[in-house]
Amino acid sequence: MAQQERAIRTRKVILEAAATVFDEVGYEAATISEVLKRAGVTKGAFYFHFPSKGDLALGVLDQAVTTDGVEPQEVKLQEAVDTMLIMAYRLPREPVYSAALRLSVDRNSQRLFGTRWPDWISLLSALLGEAKERGEMYAYIDETQAARLLLSSWTGVQIVSEGLPDTYDLSTEVSRMLQLMLPSIAVPTVLSQLEVSADRSARLVAALPDDEAQDAAAPV
Amino acid sequence: MAQQERAIRTRKVILEAAATVFDEVGYEAATISEVLKRAGVTKGAFYFHFPSKGDLALGVLDQAVTTDGVEPQEVKLQEAVDTMLIMAYRLPREPVYSAALRLSVDRNSQRLFGTRWPDWISLLSALLGEAKERGEMYAYIDETQAARLLLSSWTGVQIVSEGLPDTYDLSTEVSRMLQLMLPSIAVPTVLSQLEVSADRSARLVAALPDDEAQDAAAPV
């Protein structure tokens, strides 16, 4: 393995260990020694990549916003839908995403590191803007407002369903949420073409390149 | 002032002080001595009402679910809308509600005290169920699912808008969220009668009885 490749892999292993710890106990209670133990790398390698706990949190948050697995679609709105469905499938399976959400919601780490919600809103807003230009969306819908409300609802569905005593499948819940909201956004001819089922998220993730798919299929 | 009345008032003053502290620093960092200082009551009175920090948290959570200010309406769905609008107006103005949300979202206090989300879902689901019986809602909409998604979206709108760098008015954001979701729930003849504007929340709160309205109008 080339030296650079090894460094990238080490960084990834450390970030996954950090995500698992942040996800389990939150930022405050997380300790570098616990992350170090789980990552199983040398102290030297560890501190080379992440000199402080804050660097670990920022590293996790930097991975939170992704469109991996979203393929170009004839209907642009489908790409926005796919972005949200894929994340709904991946979050319960990959600690980096649930850790990023926990860091974003926790007010102390929020104050220290901010959130990546503005990036999510920009990303969704750009997709909705293109959809609007193509006439897929009602012209009176503001794409930034709609992006903010979609992201907010997505986030709320994750937080509340995790806090309820019963178990809910996040893909199913997000699919239902989209089914309630999209008819107010997409014009009927486009709405009837959109695929919003929870099954779609699993299929999209299965089509990810090997190392990505491996992450996504990892047990919870 | 009768003794019982004084006891009720003392309890309220303590809970408000506790809510302010929980809202500011979270459950972990909150201390009884800080709450005691803010409440300005005697130690004896304090410990009589709330023997532990956990009792304070439970006391705050017990106040989180309310339909105060919701008047009977010809259209039952309007009562569900009013419930959500009133809470959107009150939360940024009354620490007890923002503290209850913070306690619900924080995973440590969530583990200790649970959340009141199941109660909110029951309450909204009951209103939606009545609306459905009257033909106000599409028959294929499951009222419990819809209640869960409305509550989740409401919660997500609060959490995300508070975490964004720009300032958003919660009533306006919740009003926009309802405008996106209600067309998928209410039949058209009912939808056109629903009043979902952010202004409505302020008007409903203004109509609350004196001591309630006083709380609601208190500065943030």
- Three-class HEC string of A57-107: HHHHHHCCCCCCCCCCCCCHHHHHHHHHHHHHHHCCCCHHHHHHHHHHHCH
Q: What is the CATH number of the domain that holds A91?
A: 1.10.357
Mean pLDDT for chain B overall? 93
Same domain assignment for residues B80 and B136: yes
A73-85 mean pLDDT:
97
pLDDT reported for residue A214: 53
pLDDT reported for residue B67: 93
Domains contained in chain B, number: 2
Same domain assignment for residues B136 and B195: yes
Same domain assignment for residues B25 and B111: no
Within a domain: residue A14? yes
Within a domain: residue A55? yes
In the A/B pair of chains, how many CB contacts fall below 8 A? 116
Same domain assignment for residues A55 and A84: no
Alpha-carbon gap, residue B73 to A67, rounded angstroms: 45
pLDDT reported for residue B219: 44
pLDDT reported for residue B207: 87
pLDDT in tens, B106-143: 999 999 999 999 999 999 999 999 999 999 999 999 99
Name which of B121, B149, B177 is nearest A176 (Cβ-Cβ).
Answer: B149
Q: What is the CATH number of the domain that holds A35?
A: 1.10.10.60
Among A180, A181, A191, A196, most B C-beta atoms within 10 A, so best to mutate, is: A180
pLDDT reported for residue B177: 98
Alpha-carbon gap, residue B183 to B192, rounded angstroms: 9
Pick the residue from chain A with its C-alpha nearest to B181: A181
pLDDT in tens, A158-171: 999 999 999 999 99
B163-184 mean pLDDT:
96
- Domain-terminating residue out of B15, B39, B62: B62
Q: Which of B185, B190, B195, B193 is nearest to B85 (CA)?
A: B195
Within a domain: residue B67? no
**Cβ–Cβ gap A155/B159 under 8 Å:** yes
pLDDT reported for residue B213: 53
Whether residue A29 has pLDDT greater than 80 = yes
Same domain assignment for residues B57 and B80: no
**Cβ–Cβ gap B156/A152 under 8 Å:** yes
Which positions in chain B touch A164 (Cβ < 8 Å)?
Answer: 115, 117-118, 121, 148
Whether residue B41 has pLDDT greater than 80 = yes
Same domain assignment for residues A47 and A132: no
Whether residue B220 has pLDDT greater than 80 = no
Instruction: With 0.90 as the threshold, say if the pTM is over it.
Output: yes
> How far is the alpha carbon of A118 from chain B, nearest alpha carbon, in Å?
7
Within a domain: residue A150? yes
Same domain assignment for residues A171 and A88: yes
Among A155, A160, A162, most B C-beta atoms within 10 A, so best to mutate, is: A160
Within a domain: residue B71? no
Same domain assignment for residues B145 and B48: no
Size (chain B), residues: 220
Same domain assignment for residues B154 and B194: yes
- Domain extent, residue B133, equals 76-217
